[in-house]
């Protein structure tokens, strides 16, 4: 279970791990982190006070060696990391790839990440691997598939995972369950935790015309162990309507910062990642985005602490 006030998982490390890192070094603080990109390595190493943690995409480290692993090893010496998968295809109807699971587990054992996460989406069909995270209809049948896949992944890698809500551009007419109820039921059946991507909520809400706040108020916030924030692109669809794309290539929008503040006031401070995956900025720009998240987390932490003191005194 996660401590709702710190976001720390009470998970134990995989028994197969090499224990090269101090046991405490895997814990991810309830502070702000950023995506780790190799172009920032020298700036990070030269920075006396960079960020609380770094997140990496598992699929970028599935080769055997070379610079990617040397860079990540160096970062892992000083910081906890979060391992984020994007290709497990948990939401698909087909069996999970055993080869992919084995490669994923090898990374968990090697780097002892503080948090491990995947997407509520699918990205493979037969032998075809797609670059996109595709949505799925929310039905009793897909719920069973997703839960079986999460059970299999958690059991295979020996760790509890966090499941991330998708950003969507289409909805399925045959869905019979709301996304928030679908996610709530997954948590109940599998014991997984949640990675709440607030930007994905804003993107989906804008594209489909629902209230992001209503979605968040119906979301099982008590199970959130990590938050994602990212910039999005604004386009027009064929009918001239605004279409938001979850592009991870710019600063976090003001509306998303406001939703983030509302969420952490409700859920308490949790590890919060600023995702930036393309059109990478200079390190100071990325760091300033993390600092903005940190200020909100600090304000909320202070409020939580004062609330606890008042509760103790009364």
Does residue 294 belong to the site contacting Fe ion (CB under 5 A)?
no
Q: In the complex with Fe ion, which residue's Cβ is closer, 17 or 183?
A: 183
**Cα 257 from Cα 150, distance rounded (Å):** 30
- Cβ atoms of 54 and 273 within 8 Å: the answer is no
The DSSP bridge partners found for residue 274 are 34, 229
Choose the stretch contacting Fe ion; rule: CB under 5 A; options: 2-10, 99-107, 136-144, 191-199: 191-199
Q: In the complex with Fe ion, which residue's Cβ is closer, 37 or 228?
A: 228
- Closest approach of Cβ 222 to Fe ion, in Å? 20
Q: In the complex with Fe ion, which residue's Cβ is closer, 179 or 197?
A: 197
Beta strands 53-57 and 32-35, pairing class:
parallel
Choose the stretch contacting Fe ion; rule: CB under 5 A; options: 29-37, 125-133, 227-235, 299-307: 227-235
Q: In the complex with Fe ion, which residue's Cβ is closer, 11 or 197?
A: 197
Q: In the complex with Fe ion, which residue's Cβ is closer, 42 or 279?
A: 279
- Closest approach of Cβ 161 to Fe ion, in Å? 14
Choose the stretch contacting Fe ion; rule: CB under 5 A; options: 12-20, 86-94, 206-214, 221-229: 221-229
Q: In the complex with Fe ion, which residue's Cβ is closer, 112 or 246?
A: 246
- Closest approach of Cβ 119 to Fe ion, in Å? 8
Does residue 197 belong to the site contacting Fe ion (CB under 5 A)?
yes
Q: Which residue is nearest to Fe ion (CB)?
A: 228
Q: In the complex with Fe ion, which residue's Cβ is closer, 9 or 120?
A: 120
- Closest approach of Cβ 236 to Fe ion, in Å? 24
DSSP states along the chain: -B-TTT--B-PPPPTT----S-GGGGPPPSSEEEE--GGGHHHHHH-SS--SEEEEEGGGG-SSSSHHHHHHHHHHHHS-EEEE-S-S-TTSSSPPPHHHHHHHHHHHHHH--SEEEEESSEEEETTEEEEEEE----SHHHHHHHHHHHHHHHHHHTS--EEEPPP-S---TT--S-HHHHHHHHHHHH--EEEEEHHHHHHHHHHHT--HHHHHHHS-GGGEEEEEEE--EEEE-TTS-EEEE----SPPPHHHHHHHHHHHHHH----EEEE--SSPPPHHHHHHHHHHHHHHHHHHHHHHHHHHHHHHH-
Q: Token match 């993107």: residue?
A: 203
- Closest approach of Cβ 197 to Fe ion, in Å? 4
- Closest approach of Cβ 204 to Fe ion, in Å? 12
Q: What's the gap between Cα 237 and its chain centre? A: 27
- Closest approach of Cβ 310 to Fe ion, in Å? 35
**Cα 5 from Cα 268, distance rounded (Å):** 5
Q: Token match 């990391």: residue?
A: 81
**Cα 218 from Cα 224, distance rounded (Å):** 13
Q: In the complex with Fe ion, which residue's Cβ is closer, 112 or 118?
A: 118
Which listed residue (159, 223, 228, 232) binds Fe ion by CB under 5 A?
Answer: 228
Does residue 248 belong to the site contacting Fe ion (CB under 5 A)?
no
Choose the stretch contacting Fe ion; rule: CB under 5 A; options: 22-30, 60-68, 190-198, 295-303: 190-198
Q: How big is the site for Fe ion, counted in residues (CB under 5 A)?
A: 2
Choose the stretch contacting Fe ion; rule: CB under 5 A; options: 26-34, 75-83, 228-236, 297-305: 228-236
Q: In the complex with Fe ion, which residue's Cβ is closer, 274 or 296?
A: 274
Binding region for Fe ion (CB under 5 A): 197, 228
């Amino acid at each position: 279970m996660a401590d709702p006030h710190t976001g720390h998982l009470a998970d134990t490390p995989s028994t197969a791990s090499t224990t090269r890192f101090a046991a405490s070094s895997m814990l991810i603080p309830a502070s702000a982190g950023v995506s780790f990109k190799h172009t920032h390595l020298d700036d990070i190493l030269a920075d006396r006070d960079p960020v609380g943690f770094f997140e990496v995409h598992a699929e970028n480290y599935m080769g055997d060696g070379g610079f990617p692993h040397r860079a990540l090893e160096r970062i892992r010496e000083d910081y906890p990391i979060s391992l984020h998968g994007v290709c497990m295809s948990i939401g698909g109807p087909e069996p999970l790839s055993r080869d992919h699971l084995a490669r994923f587990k090898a990374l968990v054992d090697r780097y002892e990440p503080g948090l491990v996460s995947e997407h509520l989406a699918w990205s493979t069909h037969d032998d075809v691997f797609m670059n996109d995270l595709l949505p799925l209809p929310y039905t009793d049948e897909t719920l069973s598939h997703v839960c079986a896949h999460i059970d299999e992944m958690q059991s295979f890698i020996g760790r509890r995972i966090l499941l991330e809500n998708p950003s969507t551009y289409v909805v399925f007419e045959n869905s019979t369950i709301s996304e928030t109820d679908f996610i709530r039921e997954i948590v109940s059946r599998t014991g997984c935790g949640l990675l709440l991507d607030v930007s994905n909520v804003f993107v989906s809400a804008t594209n489909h015309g629902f209230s992001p706040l209503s979605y968040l108020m119906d979301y099982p916030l008590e199970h959130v162990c990590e938050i994602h924030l990212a910039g999005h692109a604004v386009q027009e669809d064929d009918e001239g309507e605004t279409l938001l794309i979850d592009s991870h290539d710019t600063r976090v929008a003001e509306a998303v910062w406001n939703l983030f503040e509302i969420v952490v006031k409700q859920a308490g401070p949790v590890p919060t990642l600023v995702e930036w995956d393309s059109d990478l900025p200079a390190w100071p720009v990325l760091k300033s985005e993390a600092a903005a998240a940190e200020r909100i987390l600090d304000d909320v932490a202070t409020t939580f602490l004062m609330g606890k003191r008042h509760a103790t005194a009364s």
